[in-house]
Structures are given as C-alpha cells and as structure tokens.
A and B are shown apart, each in its own frame.
Chain A
Amino acid sequence: RKEVEQDPGPFNVPEGATVAFNCTYSNSASQSFFWYRQDCRKEPKLLMSVYSSGNEDGRFTAQLNRASQYISLLIRDSKLSDSATYLCVVTSSGGFKTIFGAGTRLFVKA
C-alpha cells in the first residue's frame, strides 16, 4: 500500500463547477500536510498548507481528518487556469520524510 494515495483522475469539469479531491495517508505519526499544484512539465508549487481546523484560501478549502487519516481539497467556481495536477503531500520525522502522492489531474473546460 502506498503511504500517500490519491485518485489519479483525470477529473474533467466545466468552468464554474465545484470539484473535490481526496487523499489518504498511512503513517499516523505524520505531522504536516500540504496541497501542491504542478503544471505540465513544471515544478510543484505550494497551493496551501492543511490544518486540523480546516483552512480556506479564496476558492480553495482544505480539510484534515487525523482520525481517518484523510485530507481533502475543495475547489469552488473552477477556472480554466485551475487545470493542473494536484499533489497531496505529507511530512513526518521533523519534516524531512516528505511523501508525495502521485497526483490528481484536473481539466477545467470552457
């Protein structure tokens, strides 16, 4: 079983749609959680950190459920520019053991 698992997609949605991505992790000692965005043939870039209380940044909302070892990302009012691969990232052991999920591809169409 992979340490961090994501649905690879692709998710094909129209502009304006709401889309949700899920991620599960296996190490209960994991400490920090992130969503990164990666455009085709580019480097990953931090989208947002994920906190136990849940957090929101504009159209993006991230949730963490430690009991279920589950992380989610919700994108509201999808834009064409949201088309990318979204990577779920989990760190432990002081932040040095960083595990990346394989990513979920999103295509937003006009």
Chain B
Amino acid sequence: NAGVTQTPKFRVLKTGQSMTLLCAQDMNHEYMYWYRQDPGMGLRLIHYSVGEGTTAKGEVPDGYNVSRLKKQNFLLGLESAAPSQTSVYFCASSYLRGGGTYEQYFGPGTRLTVT
C-alpha cells in the first residue's frame, strides 16, 4: 500500500515550457486535491476532484489545468510555466469519515522551479 505518490519529485522548467505532474493513490479515495505551498504561506488549493471525471477550481486555479480520467489518478498541467509558479506542489486524497470529517492524505510533494 503506497498511499499517495507523486511524480516527478523535482523539476526545473524554463518560462513558457509545459509539464504535467502526476498523482496516484491506491486507497480508493473519492476525493483528490492539488495544493501549492510557498514560504510563509499555508497550502493553497489549486483544483480538486470529487470523483472520476469531475474537477473543480480551488483558491488559485489560474495557469493550471487538471484531469481525473481514472479514480486513482489526478493530473496537474502547467500549459505555459511562469516564475510565479515556482513552488512545492502537494497532491492529497481523502474520504468521508464518520462525523462528516475529511481526513486528507498527502503525497511527498514535487519541487518545481521555473527560471
């Protein structure tokens, strides 16, 4: 049981290049999320998905696109990278616990630098 995995772990892009970050979970969770974390700030939600084939915008969606073609995978795309997208990206998945709480499990993160 690997939990939540992310690939790649590190990446350096030049401004204007594109890339896709892959998140996979083997816990059969319905919900998946993409966050970014910048120094001095909390994690900010980029996009999320409540099930296969559905996605929705979070707090900071501009410049990113996502897809959830399979329940276990959630892809984050950067169409034209900008230096402002230099960040650590975390994927998470969750399920509904008793009492209506959503405990989120995180992947190890992807460190992206855009030059």
User: Could you say which residues of chain B place their CB within 8 Å of the CB of A27?
Assistant: none
Q: Mark B73-115, 1 if CB is under 8 A from A, else 0.
A: 0000000000000000010001010011111111111000000
What's the interface size class on B, roughly?
20 to 34
Residue pairs across A and B with CB atoms within 8 Å: the count is 55
List chain A residues, Cβ under 8 A from B108.
Answer: 42-43
Cα–Cα, bound, A31→B102 (Å): 10
Residue contact A96 to B109, C-beta cutoff 8 Å: no
20 A-B interface contacts by CB (under 8 A): A31-B100, A32-B101, A32-B102, A41-B109, A42-B109, A43-B109, A44-B106, A45-B106, A51-B99, A87-B42, A91-B102, A95-B31, A96-B50, A97-B45, A98-B33, A98-B45, A101-B42, A102-B41, A102-B42, A103-B42
Nearest 8 A-B pairs (CB), nearest first? Answer: A100-B42, A95-B102, A43-B106, A100-B43, A32-B101, A102-B42, A101-B42, A44-B106
